[in-house]
Structures are given as C-alpha cells and as structure tokens.
Amino acid sequence: MKIFLVDDDPFFAEMLKYYLQLNPDYDVHICNTGKECLSALYQAPDIICIDFGLPDLQGDELFTQIKSLYPDLPIIVISGQENIEVAVNFLKLGAKDYIVKNEHTKELLWNSIIRVKETISLKQEVEDLKDELGTKYAFEKTIIGQSESIKKIFSKINKALQSNINVSITGETGTGKEVVAKAIHYNSARKNKPFIAVNMAAIPKELVESEFFGHEKGAFTGASERASGKFEQANGGTIFLDEIAELDLNIQSKLLRALQEREITRVGGSQKIKLDVRVITATHKDLANEVKAGTFREDLYYRIIGLPIEIPPLRDREQDTLILARHFIELFAKENKSKPLVLSNEAKKKLLSYGFPGNVRELKSVIDLACVMSDQAEIMAEDITFYNLEKKSENFLHGQKTLKEYTTDIIIHFLKKNNNDVIKTAKMLDIGKSTIYNLLQHIEKKNT
C-alpha cells in the first residue's frame, strides 16, 4: 500500500514514516509541500495524509484539488488545530479521518490507515463479486444447449438486454425459468442493483400485499416494526415474480395500479414510494387461457406480458439432453473433488429414450444419483434411475379398455402435459382440434 505523507515538518514526517513502515506492506513517501504532492499523484497513492497548515496550500485547498482529480482517493487530515468546526468541515467534505497532532498521533494514524485499508479491501471484494456474478450468469454459460430452440432463447435474451421492457417467461416446471430471469438481470444495465425473486405459490394470499409493498408499524397484528416490501427492496433492479398465475385477483388489481403509477404505498402508510423496477414474470400455465377463464386480469396480462420467452421442455431440445448430462457430470465432479465420469453408449440411449417430465431439474437429479451409483469410470445404463412419478398414467395400456377409451386416455394425458393447450395437443397427436373439443364436451356431459 502506497501512502503519501504531506507535511512541511521534516522531523515529524520522518518520525511518522519510520513508524508506519514497521509494517512491511506500507510504502511511505514524504511530500513537503502541497504542490509537490499534486505533481506526484501520477504515482497512484492508495492513501494521502495531509497537514492542514502547509506553506504553499492550505489543507482545505489541497484537499479540494486532490478530490477534483481523484474523487475516491482516501484522505486523512493531520492538523495542529483542535478546532471542532474545522474537523467537521473536513469530514463533511469526505475526509476519512481528522487527527490532531499530539503524542498520540502516530497510534491514531496507524489505526486510521488500518480502517481505510479494510474499507478499500471490502470495496475491491464487492467489485470482484460483481464481476464474478457477471461471469456466472453469462447466459451462454448458464443456459446449456445447442438446439435451435435454445438459440432462439439466446436471441430473445439479447433483445431483452437492449431495453427495460418487462419480460414474461413460460415453460414447464423444471425448465429453468429463474435461470433465464437471472441471466437477463445480471447481463443488463441493472446488474449492480438487486435481483429479488418472489414465489407467488409459496406466500399465503393474506400476506401477499405486505410482502409486495411492505408495511408500517402497527398496520396489522404482529406488525411490530416497519418493513420494506419486495418491490421497495428491488428498486433500481429487477423483481422476479414466479408463478404469477397463482396471484389472487384482489392483489392483481393492486399490482396493476403499482405498475401503472410506478409507485407503491406500504400497508398502513400514506407515503408514496417511487419505483424504478424491471418486472420479470414466470408461470408454467398459459396466461392467455387464465384470462379467458377469468382467473387473471386482462389489463394486468397486457401490462406484464412485455417480451414473451417460452422455454421448451427438455424432450423437445434434440441432443441437449446429452450436453446437459455432461455438464452436470462435470459439475458433480467439481463439487465432490473427483474425476468426471463418462457416459456409456447404453446410458446415452437410456437418457434419450426418456421424456423427463421434470425437465432439466429432473435430469440433474438423475445424473447426480448416477455419479454416486457408478463403480467405475463410466456411467452404465443400470446406474441411471428414473423417478417415474407419472408411472400410473404412463402404464394405462395395461388395463382392459376399448379403443375409444384408450384414445380418450391418451388425449387427456397429453392435454395435462400441455397445460390444457388444445392447439398444441392436437398438433402433437396429429388430430383435429374439433376431436379434442368434442371429447371434452362429451366428458363434461357425462360428469353432469
């Protein structure tokens, strides 16, 4: 650490230099005048300690000139004056400390430099973490795959980074909706501001308003102190509203008003808080169908839809299953400090033959278990275990039914998989939409 001592008393300056350089990490340079200090700033000192009473420049003048050139450079003022007003003025201007010259000066300066050094280290650590986050969430590294459908996701993310438009993400459970949301935030101009994730399905509906907008002390039973809400916490950054379709209609209207007015009011309060928040929503449901069903407000739908990004299920991502499998194998090896295993041809075939209803999340669990079960350098087919949560619905052919009943079961099965999307199901099964609509009407009449 390079330290400048600016003092016109050679004996006092040499005494401080000797004392400070007892720490071998400190490289101390003495400047006898303010002008000498200014001309030496190109040497990039880490800290400057200036005397208030210099022969050529008053301490406040030298302080101002240094700060105009290097606003973030820490400055400690050392002075023979015990004037409190002078000390307060320097501290208001941004001095890190004000030390009076007396028999305790060297100890006080030593401790002050330690505090400044800790602050510098903390700032550097924060900057390193920010850089690390930017690298961690570089979307080409976090969203693994080479399929055409994933390349389209990359294109959509790039478009999202060019503006502050709201983003709505849809996709089955386990496809990686939050990963996409974080990739957008941490690669955007808001990356140094908060990313706040809120899962609508995990919050009781009577607490959602307080969770969103915060509350004042005494606003309701148990509100013992003021609390900021998620929107206030996300100010300047991004709020990620996961499972937005689960939001109660009453809260939907309050959310709409907050987004329209770009301001919120804490529960039980009257102060309006301005908002500068990017909203990213996600759901595994078809919001347009929810609007038609009357469970989601149409005006809120148009407010949040912004740039829609649909994440395809893993079964529709061609060879991405094997690319992701290799990625998870390497990740498992790194986390467990072991050598990465390889997939046998039989294991690859077994992975590709499975539909992965739990998508990427399920694949990771399957691979982690396979790495544990493998007794050799290669993952074999028998090391791979599927959880078969849909075993009952997949084994419906084992019963004794008519062809019409089997057809009904197949259509119902894929309707559920596609979140009751008739058009998508008709295309997948290569049948007419009317066939599905007629079937649904028949079932409805039968049930009534």
The predicted-structure confidence for 98-116, as pLDDT tens digits, reads as follows: 998 888 888 999 999 998 8
Average pLDDT of the segment spanning 367-375? 92
pLDDT, residue 400, reads 57
pLDDT band at 435 (very low <50, low <70, confident <90, very high): confident
Across 124-138, b (16+ Cβ under 10 Å) vs e yields eeeeeeeeebeeebe
pLDDT, residue 389, reads 54
> Distance between CA atoms of 305 and 282, rounded to whole angstroms?
10
**Percent of the chain beyond pLDDT 70?**
93
pLDDT, residue 142, reads 73
pLDDT, residue 222, reads 78
Tokens of residue 428, six digits: 């997948």
Across 246-271, b (16+ Cβ under 10 Å) vs e yields bbbeebbebbbebbeeeebbbbebee
* DSSP symbol at 201: G
**Percent of the chain beyond pLDDT 90?**
49
pLDDT, residue 393, reads 44
The one-letter code for the residue type at 425 is: T
Average pLDDT of the segment spanning 435-447? 78
pLDDT for 51 beyond 50:
yes
Question: Mean pLDDT lowest for which of 44-53, 138-147, 230-239, 408-417?
Answer: 138-147
Q: Where are the alpha helices (DSSP H) in 214-297?
A: 230-233, 249-261, 287-293
Q: pLDDT tens across 255-275, in order? A: 999 999 999 999 998 889 999
pLDDT for 394 beyond 50:
no
Q: What's the mean pLDDT when you consider all of the chain?
A: 87
Residue reference for tokens 């040497």: 43
pLDDT, residue 345, reads 94
Q: Is 308 left (phi over 0), alpha (psi -120 to 50) or beta?
A: beta
Residue 57, SS3 per DSSP: coil
> Distance between CA atoms of 425 and 411, rounded to whole angstroms?
8
Those residues with Cβ within 8 angstroms of residue 409's Cβ, 6 or more apart along the chain or in another chain: 396, 401
pLDDT, residue 405, reads 76
- Alpha-carbon distances, residue 284 vs 10, 33, 34, 67, 122 (angstroms): 73, 69, 66, 53, 41
> Distance between CA atoms of 27 and 3, rounded to whole angstroms?
6
> Distance between CA atoms of 130 and 412, rounded to whole angstroms?
48
Residue by residue, DSSP assigns 323-385 as: HHHHHHHHHHHHHTT-PPPEE-HHHHHHHHT---TTHHHHHHHHHHHHHHH--SSEE-GGG--
Average pLDDT of the segment spanning 229-236? 94
Question: Mean pLDDT lowest for which of 63-67, 89-93, 310-314?
Answer: 89-93
The one-letter code for the residue type at 3 is: I
Tokens of residue 257, six digits: 């008003």
Q: In 3D, which of 238, 169, 244 has the Cα closest to residue 201?
A: 244
> Distance between CA atoms of 253 and 300, rounded to whole angstroms?
8
Between strands 167-170 and 195-199, the pairing is: unpaired
Q: pLDDT tens across 135-160, in order? A: 455 666 678 888 888 889 999 999 99
* DSSP symbol at 103: T
- Alpha-carbon distances, residue 129 vs 73, 105, 206 (angstroms): 21, 36, 37
The radius of gyration of the chain from alpha carbons, rounded to an integer in Å, stands at 32
Average pLDDT of the segment spanning 193-218? 90
111, 127 Cβ separation under 8 angstroms: no
Those residues with Cβ within 8 angstroms of residue 46's Cβ, 6 or more apart along the chain or in another chain: 1, 2, 3, 74, 117, 120
pLDDT, residue 94, reads 87
Q: How many helices (H) does the chain have, and how many strands (E)?
A: 20, 14
Question: Mean pLDDT lowest for which of 218-232, 329-343, 371-385?
Answer: 218-232
pLDDT, residue 433, reads 84
pLDDT for 399 beyond 70:
no
Residue reference for tokens 């079932």: 443
Those residues with Cβ within 8 angstroms of residue 123's Cβ, 6 or more apart along the chain or in another chain: none
pLDDT, residue 131, reads 56
> Distance between CA atoms of 152 and 145, rounded to whole angstroms?
11
pLDDT for 391 beyond 80:
no
pLDDT for 395 beyond 70:
no
pLDDT band at 75 (very low <50, low <70, confident <90, very high): very high
Length of the chain equals 448
pLDDT band at 129 (very low <50, low <70, confident <90, very high): low
pLDDT, residue 233, reads 94
Could you count the other beta carbons within 10 Å of the beta carbon of residue 239? Answer: 25
Question: Mean pLDDT lowest for which of 23-27, 308-312, 385-389, 438-442?
Answer: 385-389
75, 94 Cβ separation under 8 angstroms: yes
pLDDT, residue 84, reads 80
Phi, psi of 44 (to 5 degrees): 55, 65
pLDDT for 244 beyond 90:
yes
pTM of the full predicted structure? 0.58
> Distance between CA atoms of 1 and 27, rounded to whole angstroms?
6
